[in-house]
Amino acid sequence: MPTGMHEIYCKIYNLYTLGNTTTARTLFEELLPVLAFSNQHLDISIHFFKKLLWKQNIYSTRKVRRPFIHFDHIHEKESDRLIEKGRRLPLLFPKFQA
């Protein structure tokens, strides 16, 4: 399953390689809450990224194989907030012009 966050990773990389390391670092630090939540456990990561890709209309369903950890209402609420945060980040950092 792909990350679903290619755009923001590419933006961070491009900013950094073009020499705008401060903006690249700021964008990465803004992304850290998304990464911390989504990578706390493999099952949470699978649920989170499946939900993200579903919201991006890449997958037709959010269904996942039976996990060890249940994705409860707190995970649902937090993932919704963080998915929206992650989706807004590239818009806050327009492409750096060298």
Is 16 contained in some domain?
A: yes
Burial letters 6-40, b for 16+ CB under 10 A, else e: eebeebbeebbeeebeebbeebbebbeebeebbee
Range of the domain at 65: 6-89
Is 51 contained in some domain?
A: yes
User: Would the pLDDT of 9 be above 70?
Assistant: yes
Is 94 contained in some domain?
A: no
Segment 40-50 mean pLDDT: 88
Domains of the chain: total: 1
Is 96 contained in some domain?
A: no
User: Would the pLDDT of 98 be above 60?
Assistant: no
* Residue 22 identity: T
Q: Where are the beta strands (DSSP E) in 4-90?
A: none
- Return contacts of 37-40, CB within 8 angstroms, 24+ apart: 37/78, 37/79, 37/82, 38/79, 38/82
Is 70 contained in some domain?
A: yes
Distance CA 53, CA 38 (A): 13
Is 1 contained in some domain?
A: no
Segment 26-43 mean pLDDT: 90
